Amino acid sequence: MNGVHDLGGTDGLGPVTREQDEPVFHADWEKAVFAMFPATFVKGYFNLDQFRHGMERMHPVEYLSSRYYEHWLHSLESHVVEAGAVDRDELDRRTQHYLDHPDEPLPGTRDSDLVGFLETVMAQGASARREASGTARFSAGDRVRVGDDHPHGHTRRARYIRGKTGVIDRVHDAFIYPDSAGNGHGEDPQFVYTVRFATTDLWGPDSGDPRSCVYFDVWEPYLQSA
Report helix, strand and coil shares of the chain as percent, to nearest 5. Answer: 40, 15, 45
Our measurement of the distance from residue 178's CA atom to the centroid of its chain's CA atoms, rounded to an integer in Å, reads 9
What is the pTM (predicted TM-score) of this model?
0.90
**Do β-strands 223-225 and 213-219 pair in parallel, antiparallel, or remain unpaired?**
unpaired
Domains and CATH numbers, the chain: 28-124 (1.10.472.20), 143-225 (2.30.30.50)
Report CA dihedral (38, 43, 44, 47) to the nearest 10 degrees.
0
Provide the residue-wise pLDDT of the chain in tens; the chain has 226 residues: 899 999 887 888 888 888 999 999 999 999 999 989 988 998 899 999 999 999 999 999 999 999 999 999 999 999 999 999 999 999 999 999 999 999 998 887 778 888 888 788 778 888 999 998 899 999 999 999 999 988 899 999 999 999 999 999 999 999 999 999 999 999 999 999 999 999 999 999 888 788 999 999 999 999 999 9
